[in-house]
Copies of this chain bind each other. A is one copy, B any other.
Amino acid sequence: MKIIRANLGERSYDIIIGRNLLNSAGKIIRKLNIGKDAFIITNTLIKNKHGQRISNSLKKAGLSVKFRLVPDTEKSKSIKVAFAIIRDISRYDRKRRIFIIALGGGVIGDIAGFVASIYKRGVPYVQVPTTLLAQIDSSIGGKTAVDLMQGKNLVGAFYQPRLILTDLSTLESLSPRQIRAGLSEAIKYGIIKDEALFKFIEKNYSEILKLNNKKMEFLVYRCSNIKAKIIERDEKEEKGIRTILNFGHTLGHAIEAASGFERCNHGEAVALGMLAAIDISKKKGLIAEGLYNRIKNLIKSAGLPLQIKKISILKVLKAHYRDKKFIGGLNRFVLIKGIGKPVIVTNIKLEIIKAALKKLKQPTEKF
């Protein structure tokens, strides 16, 4: 078991990483003294896999348990679903001391965190991420949100959890595609911040994909630590420090949105977004062909897509121009001038973006 402390003043919390932690959830959460009645937001699939274990553990610790299921798609991240949940909580919450548990992947974490942030102007919540992507990325840092037709994550809040309980055993029930999606974000951390991590993934990707315990624990710990340290320095993305986490995300989000959040999952879209970002970095003379190929090679080894399929470039561009990362009409890209050397560049010209996207439409060249 490893513990990372996210130091955010009065909003500080622990990220506890280990195997079979669901069985200790009750004991750990009771110590926080955040309430007596757990309202667990999850989906049917995850409840079937892990619901019994966490529920037993909470009840054993004297806490009451209520499950609220949401559909298992990005489409759950809507205002409509968020408010249906809030209505249910407010009906359930009589003479109780409610806290919320987000049991699931990024979608569950985002919507449950958002609900926690606005119900009664904020009730405590705990993240129990069950996907690799949620464990190393979305559960950490207090970004909560739901989507609008006009764009992803347009409505939300910065609202920190009181604990993140990262049970590595939950990864065993994921599909290989979900593991690869998480690995995409891990590669991102390597690229923007940690060459040793990048090399570790280059060396161990096949064992990671096979869920080797030791490798996976190292990966999750290292990535979680990077994210925690970045958000400590820039909790609300005001200082340009947290911005580097958006590497691959500017076009990634647009690709994901243009795919209707279905054909491409988040990690796959980020992989494509990273490819576009290194292509633009190369064209801007920031990196050489060799590094471009090295990164592309790792994305390929991780089994992530190199090509945008069945998604129109026009749709991607439209989604891109709706992105909230625009500031005063200027787009903003995280590019790199080397591994661990991100640079933020604003106002990249449309032709350059278009060319990078077009390249992703072409069948991949050999390298």
Contact = CB atoms under 8 A, between A and B. Distances in A.
Contacts of A86: 79, 148, 154-155
B96 A328 contact: yes
Interface string A317-328: 000011010111
Interface stretch (A114-122, A214-222, A265-273): A114-122
B154 A90 contact: yes
Contacts of A97: 327-328
Contacts of A114: 118
B154 A157 contact: no
Contacts of A321: 94
A145 interface: yes
A190 to B, nearest CB: 27
A138 to B, nearest CB: 14
A117 B157 contact: yes
Most buried by B among A117, A151, A155: A155
Interface residues of A, number: 39
A206 interface: no
Most buried by B among A91, A117, A121, A322: A121
A87 interface: yes
A158 interface: yes
B96 A329 contact: yes
Contact of A90 (B117, B118, B119, B150): B150
A326 B37 CA distance: 15
A95 interface: yes
Interface in A67-98: 79, 83, 86-87, 90-91, 94-97
Contacts of A90: 148, 150-151, 154
Nearest to A118: B155
Nearest to A145: B121
A253 interface: no
B155 A95 contact: no
A91 to B, nearest CB: 6
Interface in A242-278: none
A150 B93 CA distance: 10
A327 B94 CA distance: 10
A162 interface: no
B328 A95 contact: yes
Contact of A326 (B36, B87, B95, B236): B95
Contacts of A117: 157
Given A79-B83, A90-B148, A328-B36, A154 B95 contact: no
A143 interface: yes
A210 to B, nearest CB: 37
Contacts of A151: 90
Contacts of A150: 87, 90-91
Contact of A158 (B36, B87, B122, B144): B122
B155 A119 contact: yes
B120 A154 contact: yes
A156 interface: yes
Nearest to A330: B95
Interface in A311-367: 321-322, 324, 326-329
A90 B146 CA distance: 13
Given A83-B155, A87-B149, 12 more contacts: A86-B148, A86-B154, A90-B148, A90-B154, A95-B326, A95-B329, A118-B156, A120-B154, A121-B143, A121-B144, A121-B158, A122-B157
